[in-house]
Amino acid sequence: MRYIRAGALPRVDAWWQMARYMGHWELRGYGLWAVIERSTNRLIGHLGFLDPEGGHGFELGWALARHAWGRGYALEGTRAAVHHAFTTLNRDHIACLIHPENTRSIHLAERLGGRLEREIVESGTRLLVFGIARPEPAA
């Protein structure tokens, strides 16, 4: 979470964040999914899409609990999400906003086909914007 926010959200802020995510499903028809570890049936994170007003476009985001890192869950989930975006949601471009020190997420974005497009400053924090383009149809 060090690249997303400092510490856990207070209860009131967590409620508003959940309302935001649930409302996104209602308003856009897509959003974030819970990531559940099959072997333990535990919630280990979330991943999916957001495209809020005033944002940076159709964005793929992910966050997993530390103990779930290095097990392939993020790659498996984000690959499925990217496929869903290009096939079911008919998107041509996906953005990933990543803190420049978050080398694990940068590597994941690159494995998904992401290319660095630009840098931005969001709430005083420098972020890299990686773009994933819809693959060209096979000839």
Question: Is residue 5 included in any domain, yes or no?
Answer: no
Q: What is the pLDDT of residues 58-79, one digit of tens each?
A: 999 999 988 898 999 999 999 9
Question: Is residue 74 included in any domain, yes or no?
Answer: yes
Tokens of 128: 């890299």
Give the domain range for residue 63: 11-133
Q: What is the pLDDT of residues 15-41, one digit of tens each?
A: 877 788 888 899 999 999 999 999 999
Question: Is residue 4 included in any domain, yes or no?
Answer: no
Question: Is residue 112 included in any domain, yes or no?
Answer: yes
Q: Cβ distance 68 to 45 under 8 Å?
A: yes
Tokens of 59: 């964005």
Using CA atoms, how far residue 96 sits from 13, 19, 34, 71, in Å, is 24, 22, 18, 21
Question: Is residue 20 included in any domain, yes or no?
Answer: yes
List the CATH number of the domain containing 125: 3.40.630.30
Domain count, the chain: 1
Tokens of 124: 């005083």
pTM of the model: 0.86
In the chain, the amino acid numbered 65 is A
